[in-house]
Amino acid sequence: MKEKLIDLFEYTFHFNKEIIKVIAENLGKVDEKTISLINHTLNAQQIWNSRILGEQTFEVWQINPFETLEEINQRNFEKSIEIINNFDPDQKINYQNSRGADFENTVFEMLFQAINHSTYHRGQINSLLKQNGIDPILTDYIFYKR
């Protein structure tokens, strides 16, 4: 299972990087919602990693300096791989959501949420790019594997 999770995070890292690149190449054309969503996508992965690791989390909708997004993506990837290599996927983690409510999920569930969440928002970002006259990129997993 670890190999499959690593593959999914490599996919996530790759297409987050590609989306950041397209946005950077078209900063004059993208809207605030696009910037908000790419930040939210990266923030969410950081938050899930930090919940597992017991570290300080980002805010869900914080806007990071654009020039730091590639670094955040890289750090998120490295932390996710660290978790995969050092945690039992069935280990349960207690955490609080952004509203302070208590929850418990397994490491696998939390990691899969980070992957699935980023896929969802990259789709939204691609729609916004297209609406702003920017060619979206194909981010389906199968295209990554071909």
Structural domain count, the chain: 1
pTM of the model: 0.95
Q: Is 44 in a helix, a strand, or coil?
A: helix
Q: What is the chain's pLDDT, residue by residue, as a tens digit (146 residues)?
A: 899 999 999 999 999 999 999 999 999 999 999 999 999 999 999 999 999 999 999 999 999 999 999 999 999 999 999 999 999 999 999 999 999 999 999 999 999 999 999 999 999 999 999 999 999 999 999 999 99
- Both tokens of 23, joined, read 């946005």
Q: Which domain holds residue 45?
A: 2-145
Q: Report the number of secondary-structure helices (H) and strands (E) in the chain.
A: 5, 2
* Binding site as annotated, residues: 40, 117, 121
Place of tokens 């900063």: 27
For residue 42 the two structure tokens come to 């990266």
13: part of which helix (H) or strand (E)? Answer: helix 2-25
- Give the domain CATH number at 7: 1.20.120.450
Q: Which residues are annotated as a binding site for a divalent metal cation?
A: 40, 117, 121
